[in-house]
Amino acid sequence: MPAKIVTLTLNPALDKSTAIGHLVPEQKLRCSPMRLDAGGGGINVSKAIKRLGGQGVAVFPAGGFNGKMLCGLLEKGAIDFKCLEVPGETRENISVLETASNAQYRFTLPGLQITENQADECLALIKAIGPEYLVASGSLPPGLPETYFEKVAVFAKKIGARFILDTSGEALQAAADEGLYLLKPNLSELSALVGVEKLEMNQVDDAALKIIQQGKCAVVVVSLGPQGALLVTKDGFEHIPAPTVKKQSTVGAGDSMVAGMVWALSEGKNFKEMAQIGVACGTAATMNQGTELFHDADVWKLLNWLQQYGDRYRLRDF
């Protein structure tokens, strides 16, 4: 039976997306119908795992009308969740696609303030589930210290869960210092983790290996955007190229990649298969507009390409 997966989203959002031909200041702009999605990093991961045929439990705090809407959308999508009701109004995020240029404008509003005690209540909900994989994704909301994910890393060890974190800045650094199972940094985040301003492409593998040797994690998958990802373990590294597709939106691509990887791990896949599925999911997510994630048919098609032809397109300059 697949391992239990729980996602933690401390800064959830009601995601709204629409499109317009041209963005013109001080004009009344007629937009396409609004699309609503339950959003926030971990929630997106849970939704994506469901699309892959897996099942996880999304844990998050939410409040107000937007919180009820968010929970209703998850119920409609048959996503298992545990919501901690808190005072206040869950935030909204707005994404607008300008169709003339294919440029996307993303407006992220401030999150609902959460106390540390409320966040700890979310951890209590997770403990009762007893996951084998705990995935925390997204930013920290106002009210929580930047070191809170370090506390989550300690908590994961106590309950025997493998902790996978996708965040940035001081929150990422603090948690990595405590030790995680898997990290998915981009180049700038990896640079910060090893204490340098910028990494050249041929330095990425050594930098990722350094944080593994320092005990910050067991596996690193460095996100390289359109170039795919670099899988690094204590035994070596391998480049996973990204298939070329027509990009519609990057919203949810990172969360889709994390979802693919944790689903693969829960299904007993090896690290290379894990990274390939992650890249396939992240790439597939860019093929859809707005806040929609990937279509599973696109994932399997891209994965088949990676498994058949991926080695021909690996970067040679590491």
Indicate if 15 belongs to the active site: no
Contacts for 275-278 with beta carbons within 8 Å, 24 or more apart?
A: 275/221, 275/229, 275/231, 275/238, 275/240, 276/240, 276/303, 276/306, 276/307, 276/310, 277/303, 278/184, 278/221, 278/229, 278/240
272-282 pLDDT, tens per residue?
999 999 999 99
In the chain, the percentage of residues whose pLDDT exceeds 70 is 95
Q: Which of 15, 255, 298, 311 is catalytic?
A: 255
Q: Which residues contact 271 (CB under 8 A, 6 or more apart)?
A: 219, 231, 233
Query: pLDDT per residue over 221-244, tens digit each?
Result: 999 888 889 999 999 899 999 888
Average pLDDT over all residues of the chain? 91
Half-sphere exposure of 157 (CA within 13 A, CB side): 11
H-run or E-run covering 66: helix 64-76
What distances in angstroms separate CA 268 from CA 3, 180, 263, 271, 272, one per listed residue? 9, 19, 9, 9, 12
Report pLDDT for 314.
Answer: 63
- Side by side, the strands of the sheet bearing 35-39 are 35-39, 13-20, 91-98, 103-108
Q: What is the pLDDT of residues 176-228, one digit of tens each?
A: 989 899 999 999 999 999 888 888 888 888 999 999 999 999 999 999 888 88
Q: Which residue has the higher pLDDT, 252 or 118?
A: 118
Q: Measured between alpha carbons, how far is 133 from 36 in angstroms, rounded to an integer?
A: 28
Give whole-number Cα distances, 257 to 137, 254, 315, in Å. Answer: 11, 5, 20
The residues near 263 (Cβ < 8 Å, ≥ 6 apart) are 5, 48, 49, 52, 54, 277
Per-residue pLDDT band at 62 (split at 50, 70, 90): very high
Residues 189, 168 contacting (CB under 8 angstroms): yes
DSSP annotation string for 214-232: TTS-SEEEEE-GGG-EEEE
Question: Are 9 and 39 within 8 A, CB to CB?
Answer: no
Query: In 3-state terms, the chain is what percent helix, strand and coil (to 5)?
Result: 40, 25, 35
Sign (positive or negative) of CA dihedral 121, 126, 130, 132: negative
Q: Which domains does the chain have, with CATH numbers?
A: 5-19+33-310 (3.40.1190.20)
Nearest to 148 by CA among 158, 138, 160, 162: 138
Predicted local confidence at residue 252, as pLDDT: 78
pTM score, whole prediction: 0.91
From the centroid of its chain, how far is CA 168? 11
Amino acid code (one letter) for 59? V
CB count within 10 Å of CB 21 equals 14
Supply the Cα-derived Rg of the chain in whole angstroms. Answer: 19
User: Would you say residue 309 has pLDDT above 80?
Assistant: no
Instruction: Report which residue type is found at 308.
Output: Q
Nearest-angstrom CA–CA distance, 34 and 12: 19
CA–CA dist 279, 256 (Å, integer): 9
Token pair recorded at residue 193: 């983790």
C-alpha span between 298 and 280 (Å, rounded) = 8
pLDDT of residue 315: 59
Structure tokens at 180: 């995680």
Contact status, residue 46 vs residue 55, Cβ threshold 8 Å: no
Band (pLDDT 50/70/90 cuts) for residue 86 is very high
Determine the pLDDT at residue 125. Answer: 97
Q: Is the pLDDT of residue 1 over 80?
A: no
